[in-house]
Amino acid sequence: MCEVFNSFILEARDKPILTLVAMVKDLIMVRIQVNRDKADKWKGKLCPKPRLKLTQNVKDASACMPTKSDRAHFQVYTGSTTNQCAVDLEKRKCTCRKWQLSGIPCKHTCASIRLNREDVDDYVDECYYIDTYKKVYQHAIVPIYGPDFWPQTRRVGPLLLKTRRLEGLQGLGGSIQLKLQKMKKTANAKLENIYVQYARNKVITTGPARY
């Protein structure tokens, strides 16, 4: 979800805070209205993608052989007597657990519902209903007016920061390049002194022993 939202606000991420908030508000406002208009064109009880998944499960249910135990419990065979699932329509459970995980009746459940002569759509989770989708996007972001129409105030605004000249750089040659060159020479000189001292100490400690 975070990656999707970051790609959604990609153009606004590097803007100042007020511009960023305004752009995100506009993006969300337009997205809500687009989804609302899209849902108004849908027909039926389910959203399009869940409808496609359910239609495929109903087709696959033709290979299942349900056996009715009572009105809510079924034993469904798939291919052989050893490959069987137990379906509970009241608790909305199936042995394959696809119904519990997705909220859409699996092929074993669809076969049981058809044997019961009921509507498969009634056993789909409510989160896939078009009415639920419309409830999610029923709230709109209220438009706001721009800075040109903000109320005026007599309070003193924030003071601007004063830019300071780099006096140290000006005194050392008038440019940053000269300053960097001098710092480099100083660092090289220090390294050379350290190396000379190290070499002298090494010669003294490793020199020939005196008798």
Listing DSSP states for 131-194 in one string gives: HHHHHHT---PPP---GGGSPP--SPPPPPPPPPP-HHHHHTTSSHHHHHHHHHHHHHHHHHHH
Best CA proximity match to 53, nearest among 116, 14, 99: 99
What is the pTM (predicted TM-score) of this model? 0.65
pLDDT for 107 equals 95
Could you read off the pLDDT tens digit of each residue along the chain, which spans 211 residues? 677 777 777 888 888 888 888 888 998 999 999 999 999 999 999 999 999 999 999 999 999 999 999 999 999 998 877 889 999 999 999 999 999 999 999 999 999 999 999 999 999 999 999 999 999 999 989 888 888 888 888 887 777 766 655 555 455 445 666 666 777 777 777 777 776 676 666 544 444 444 3
Structure tokens at 85: 């699932």
**Is residue 150 within a helix (H) or strand (E), and if so which, with residue range?**
none
Instruction: Tell me how far apart the alpha carbons of residues 104 and 98 are, in angstroms, rounded to a whole number.
Output: 8
Which residues contact residue 120 at a Cβ distance below 8 angstroms, ignoring those fewer than 6 apart?
A: 54, 58, 105, 110, 113, 114
Which residues contact residue 119 at a Cβ distance below 8 angstroms, ignoring those fewer than 6 apart?
A: 113
Tally of helices (H runs) and strands (E runs) in the chain: 8, 4
pLDDT for 206 equals 42
- Residue 68 and residue 62 in contact, taking contact as beta carbons nearer than 8 Å: no
Structure tokens at 140: 């709109």
